[in-house]
Amino acid sequence: MSGKTMTEKRRVAVTGIGVISPVGIGLEAFWQGLLSPQPTGPRRAQDFDPKDYYEDAKAIRRADRFEQFAVAAAQQALEQSGALTVAKDRIGVLVGTGIGGAQTHEDQTLVLDKKGARRVSPFTVPMMMANAGSAAISMRHGFQGPCECLTTACATGTHAIGSAARWIQYGICDAVVAGGSEAAMTPIAISGFANMKALSATGISRPFDATRDGFVISEGGAVLVLEEWEEATRRGATILGEILGSASVADAHHITAPAPGGAGATRCMQRALDDANLEASAIAHINAHGTSTPLNDRAEAEGIAKMFGRPGPIVTSIKGVTGHSLGASGALEAASVLLAMHHALIPPTDGLEQFDPELPMIDVVQKDARPWTPGPSLSNSFGFGGHNGTVVLGPA
């Protein structure tokens, strides 16, 4: 730990990224997926094979799919980062999930109903508990710093990265494995979202489009390795980007609908800028939450326009391609921002054919990826319950 005072926030470097997504496993496949048209059919991580990340078949059977995603993404990120040189008790884990082991819960409920209580697996609770992903990463790698789990619906991944960065900024940890994981494409979850009219009836994700009719549910996970900047530099790590600031605020408005006029989104983005000590004019890009639901896209567009004017920074929503992976979405989107910086190219908002004329005109990338000069960028996430999260990322 450096000798900085608590009022002098330490810089936070990103030195590793791991991704499990419906459009690609690993960074290169994920990036190519972001530049491709959205897939048809269920947005599952079809190419994921847990045997690539587990040596023991029993361990696979005793881990819910969301935990497997977290473990796999963390392994990818740590391999890219290289050997961490700080003490194990200075390395934290903060990997969140919006729902947790939903498939395990549903499967074992059916076992209870059909076969009786004695046939319910003794591994049910550790498989379905929301902190299983963080715990598995900690135990696998021997990390003995703080090991926690956030659950703030669709804002989870963003909140986890922002909170993990604060652990480093204020000297609690020297490195943190942080992100989000979700595997909630289960019969009950899908039925629940469908019956509340949140899902697209057409199965097409159309962020900010005039004909958008709901989100397309997906699954996946993304993990970042965050390190104290000076330590990462000292050990010769390749720095992929920087966490400049973050914010978390509540709408205190409605269990599913965002606050009117994007009030919560506006406050969250402003506080994130304040935390990063940046003016609105410094922001070059916004990775929008952009779910393709009528109310969310309206609130976010209004919030962006209020904060940054029109047309404002370059905006994209990768949910056109990835769909909405709930608690994992913010982490996947932070990864996409870092990749956009690396490639100096912002992926398009797939599915956006006709920008909704009732929304304020913001500069959303359509059809083709757009070259840019990487600069400070926001990644937004807004979740059921009125949870708002924004993280500010900078190029390496």
For position 5, what pLDDT does the model report? 47
Residues 185 and 38 in one domain: yes
The answer to whether residues 233 and 260 belong to one domain is: no
CATH of the domain at 39: 3.40.47.10
374 and 256 inside one domain: yes
Looking up tokens 């209004």 gives 302
| Closest to 23 (Cα-Cα) out of 8, 4, 41, 36 | 36
Q: Could you tell me if residue 253 is inside a domain?
A: yes
Give a yes or no: residue 4 inside a domain: no
Q: With the C-alpha atoms ordered 105, 106, 108, 113, is the resulting torsion angle positive or negative? A: positive
Which residues are part of the catalytic machinery? 154, 289, 324
Residue 5 lies in a domain: no
Q: Give the residue numbers spanning the domain of 316.
A: 245-394
Q: What is residue 8's predicted lDDT score, i.e. its pLDDT?
A: 82
Instruction: Give the chain's radius of gyration (CA, Å).
Output: 20
- pLDDT block averages, 10 residues each, the chain of length 396: 62 98 98 97 97 96 98 98 97 98 98 98 98 98 98 98 98 98 98 96 97 98 98 98 98 93 95 98 98 96 95 97 98 98 98 97 96 98 96 97
Domain count, the chain: 2
Helices 329-343 and 156-169, interaxial angle, to 10°?
70
Q: Which residues contact 49 (CB under 8 A, 6 or more apart)?
A: none
- Based on the fold, state whether residues 263 and 352 are members of the same structural domain: yes
Asked if residue 7 belongs to a domain, the reply is no
pLDDT at res. 7: 63
Q: Are residues 224 and 268 in the same domain?
A: no
pTM: 0.96
Q: What is the rounded CA–CA span in Å between residue 82 and residue 215?
A: 37
Q: What residue type is assigned to position 352 of the chain?
A: L
